[in-house]
């Protein structure tokens, strides 16, 4: 074993498990690609200030969890702890919102980094697929994104997840609620750090997972009682559209999400098979974020779904994905001439779009057939000197065990026909 290991709280994705992660990414992104979302990729690090302003200086992410570094030129950078701020920054920089087609619909996939105490389902480096719809205020967009995430999860075979839904109000009604909540919280028995949070962002106190804090929050004022008529109507429209689409959700008035930029619609996907780290993804509307990071007013909505968490949810439900074999045909040459000829056949098969592999390293028949078996190939091609003298190769069906001689010139066409 190497003296080096992956840093604490991170993981390596290696075959065969990595195939599941790829399939999950594909399943989550497929409905987005079919709904007008274009792919965007941003750097793994950004200016610290982008996250401090956008995500919120009072959030755990910014105060405790961000990996920061100073460049030789003195710039303060941070490994990205989440995707939305980066995507919005990139969209603004590229003037995508000025192209005349709003909303700007984008999806992304990548690794994100937070310095947290590692535990099951919570890593310091984690993988997400996300989607953002930028520049339009429309309850149908909020509903669309929730429906697409629900569709993605169902296409994977997940059934035991729940969708939690809430409204956080807007800049008109939230300040009134904030004041009422602060007045209530100041009278509670809370530690110093939580008291500081009351003054900076009191809604985050509602998100505190400690039982002794939650017990004191039973009679906290409810945000729904403070929503203005416009926010109430907006939220009812989102709910009605989801219900009409047959998407089941639960109203959760304590759901605030961990980032400061959310307004109005907020939602979370949870899976009860994951223990304390039950959230597999979530998102919401963030109408003020563009202005927070120096852009114009651009009402937007988005989500991010954890690939790692989704894989854990699949395992918790016992769902096994139907992953195609990485190899359909495995070629086993016996002797130098066969090696040259079969390598040519493998190249021809690959050009025809057939997944083919080759017994490298000049091993004997027994060892090469073991490798063929492990590869998951449906067929093997075996050829020795006598076969080549007769102008044939031996084609073996690995499922039935049947073997037949096929003319060498017709081997690729025969395999293409059998594999459909």
Nearest to 18 by CA among 154, 124, 127: 127
Q: Kindly report the backbone phi and psi dihedral angles of residue 104, in degrees, each rounded to the nearest multiple of 5, phi listed first.
A: -80, 115
Same domain, 260 and 355: no
Gap between the Cα atoms of 141 and 54, Å rounded: 21
Q: Is residue 300 part of a domain?
A: yes
Q: Are 161 and 82 in the same domain? A: yes
Select from 317, 337, 367 the last residue of a domain.
Answer: 317
Q: Are 55 and 44 in contact (CB under 8 A)?
A: no
Pair (274, 129) in one structural domain: yes
Q: Which residue stretches of 318-406 are H helix?
A: 336-351, 365-375, 385-389
CB atoms within 10 A of CB 275: 12
C-alpha–C-alpha distance, residues 47 and 15, integer Å: 34
What range does the domain containing 376 cover? Answer: 329-418
Contact predicate 54/85, CB 8 Å: yes
**Which whole-number Å values give the CA distances from 293 to 24, 113, 285, 287, 352, in the listed order?**
32, 21, 16, 12, 49
What pLDDT is stored for residue 62 in this prediction? 59
291-292-294 Cα angle (round to 5):
60
Determine, yes or no, domain membership for 76: yes
Among candidate residues 290, 317, 344, the one where a domain is terminated: 317
**Is 160 one of the annotated binding-site residues?**
no
Residue 352 has which token pair? Answer: 């025809």
Q: Is 262 assigned a ligand-binding role in the annotation?
A: yes
Cα angle 288, 265, 253 (rounded to 5 degrees) comes to: 120
The contacts found for 13-16 with CB under 8 angstroms, 24 or more apart, are 15/326
The CATH number of whichever domain residue 238 belongs to comes to 3.30.930.10
Residue 306 assigned as binding residue: no
Measured torsion, CA atoms of residues 139, 145, 148, 154, in degrees rounded to the nearest 10: -100
Q: Identify whether residues 150 and 30 lie together within a single domain.
A: yes
In a domain, 10, yes or no: no
Strand 76-79 with 104-113, pairing:
unpaired
Residues 272 and 369 grouped into a single domain: no
61 and 35 share one domain = yes
**257 has binding-site annotation:** yes
> Would residue 214 count as lying in a domain?
no
**Is the Cβ–Cβ distance between 313 and 158 less than 8 Å?**
yes
Is the domain of 128 the same as that of 151?
yes
Which of residues 270, 291, 317 is at a domain's end? 317
Under 8 Å between Cβ of 130 and 41: no
Do 259 and 405 have their domain in common? no
Binding residue per annotation — 214? Answer: no
83 a known binding residue?
yes
250 and 383 assigned to the same domain: no
216 annotated ligand binder = no
Answer yes or no: is 6 within a domain: no
Q: Residue 119, annotated ligand binder?
A: no
Q: Is 237 annotated as a binding residue?
A: no
Based on the fold, state whether residues 400 and 308 are members of the same structural domain. Answer: no
Q: What is the CATH number of the domain that holds 336?
A: 3.40.50.800
Residues 287 and 154 in one domain: yes
Q: What is the pLDDT along the chain (420 residues), one digit of tens a residue?
A: 668 999 888 889 999 899 999 999 999 999 999 999 999 999 999 999 888 876 665 556 556 788 889 999 999 999 999 999 999 999 999 999 998 889 999 999 999 998 877 666 677 889 999 999 999 999 999 999 999 999 999 999 999 999 999 999 988 888 888 889 899 999 888 888 888 888 877 887 887 778 888 888 888 888 888 999 999 999 999 999 999 999 999 998 878 765 667 789 999 999 988 877 788 999 999 998 999 899 999 999 999 999 999 999 999 999 999 998 889 999 999 999 999 999 999 999 999 999 999 999 988 899 999 999 999 999 999 999 999 999 999 999 999 999 999 999 999 999 999 998
**Beta carbons within 10 angstroms of residue 186's beta carbon:** 12
> Do residues 305 and 152 make contact, with C-beta atoms less than 8 angstroms apart?
yes
Q: Are residues 123 and 250 in the same domain?
A: yes
Domain count, the chain: 2
């Amino acid at each position: 074993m190497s003296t080096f290991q992956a840093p604490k709280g991170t993981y390596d994705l290696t075959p065969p498990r990595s195939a599941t992660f790829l399939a999950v990414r594909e399943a989550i992104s497929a409905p987005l690609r079919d709904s007008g979302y274009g792919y965007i990729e941003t750097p793994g690090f950004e200016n610290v200030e982008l996250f401090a302003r956008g995500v919120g200086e009072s959030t755990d992410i910014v105060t405790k969890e961000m990996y920061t570094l100073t460049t030789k030129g003195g710039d303060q950078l941070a490994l990205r702890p989440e995707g939305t701020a980066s995507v919005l920054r990139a969209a603004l920089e590229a003037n995508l919102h000025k192209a005349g087609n709003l909303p700007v619909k984008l999806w992304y996939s990548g690794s994100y980094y937070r310095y947290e105490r590692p535990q099951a389902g919570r890593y310091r480096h984690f993988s997400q697929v996300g989607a953002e719809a930028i520049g339009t205020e429309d309850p149908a967009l909020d509903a669309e994104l929730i429906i697409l995430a629900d569709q993605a999860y169902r296409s994977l075979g997940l059934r035991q997840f729940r969708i939690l839904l809430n409204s956080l109000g807007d800049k008109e009604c939230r300040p009134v609620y904030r004041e009422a909540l602060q007045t209530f919280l100041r009278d509670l028995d809370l530690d110093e750090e939580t008291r500081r949070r009351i003054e900076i962002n009191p809604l985050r106190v509602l998100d505190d997972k400690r039982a002794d804090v939650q017990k004191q929050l039973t009679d906290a004022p409810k945000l729904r009682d403070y929503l203005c008529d416009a926010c109430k109507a907006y939220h009812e429209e989102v709910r009605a559209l989801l219900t009409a689409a047959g998407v089941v959700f639960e109203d959760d008035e304590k759901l605030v999400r961990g980032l400061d930029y959310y307004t109005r619609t907020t939602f979370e996907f949870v899976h009860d098979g994951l223990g304390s780290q039950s959230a597999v993804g979530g998102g919401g509307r963030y109408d003020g974020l563009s202005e927070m990071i120096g852009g114009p007013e651009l009402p937007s909505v988005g989500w991010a779904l954890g690939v790692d968490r989704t894989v854990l949810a699949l395992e918790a439900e016992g769902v096994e994905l139907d992953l195609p074999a990485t190899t359909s045909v495995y070629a086993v040459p016996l002797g130098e001439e066969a090696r040259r000829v079969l390598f040519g056949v493998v190249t021809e098969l690959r050009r025809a779009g057939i997944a083919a592999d080759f017994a490298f390293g000049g091993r004997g028949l027994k060892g090469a057939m073991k490798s063929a078996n492990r590869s998951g190939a449906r067929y093997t091609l075996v050829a020795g000197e006598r076969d080549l003298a007769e102008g044939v190769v031996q084609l073996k069906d690995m499922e039935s065990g049947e073997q037949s001689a096929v003319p060498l010139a017709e081997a690729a066409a025969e395999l293409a026909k059998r594999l459909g």
